[in-house]
Amino acid sequence: MINYSPYIEGLKRREAERKASLEKRRQNALAVAQQIAGMLRRDFGATKIYLFGSTLRLKGFHSHSDIDLAVDGIDPKRYFSAVGQALMMSDEFSVDLLEMSACRPELKEIILKEGRML
């Protein structure tokens, strides 16, 4: 009879390592989001910054997750400069920066309900 225990234990160990690695990456994403929020306030006058999407949830977070932010208070003439600055702040993560005023009502509702203000 074949003993599958070593294989099962190996699978469990690899899954635990994968989850730990994803959580570490998620924590890095949260830290980068905070840094970007500080820059958006300081350099672009953002008044409200919401983090939303998979970065907030371990179950939804994966190896290709990005940082989703929605902002209020940035002068529309400076929006693309703000996007560029945000993108330059991380080599590890892509950053999506949305203007709350330009969001569809359904998305705005989700951001306000499920997002976290930074």
Q: For the packed helices 79-88 and 5-44, what is the interaxial angle rounded to 10 degrees?
A: 140
State which amino acid sits at residue 72.
Answer: D
* Rounded Cα distance, 20 and 17, in Å: 5
The pTM of the full predicted model, rounded to 2 decimals, is: 0.86
- Counted domains in the chain: 1
Question: pLDDT per position in the chain (118 positions), as tens?
Answer: 889 888 888 888 999 899 898 999 999 999 999 999 999 999 999 999 999 999 998 788 988 999 999 999 999 999 999 999 999 999 999 999 999 999 999 999 999 999 999 9
* Rounded Cα distance, 34 and 77, in Å: 23
Q: How many CB atoms lie within 10 A of CB 26?
A: 19
The domain spanning residue 95 has which CATH number? Answer: 3.30.460.10
* Rounded Cα distance, 14 and 20, in Å: 10
Given a contact cutoff of 8 angstroms between Cβ atoms, the answer to whether 86 and 68 are in contact is no
Residue-number span of the structural domain to which 42 is assigned: 4-117
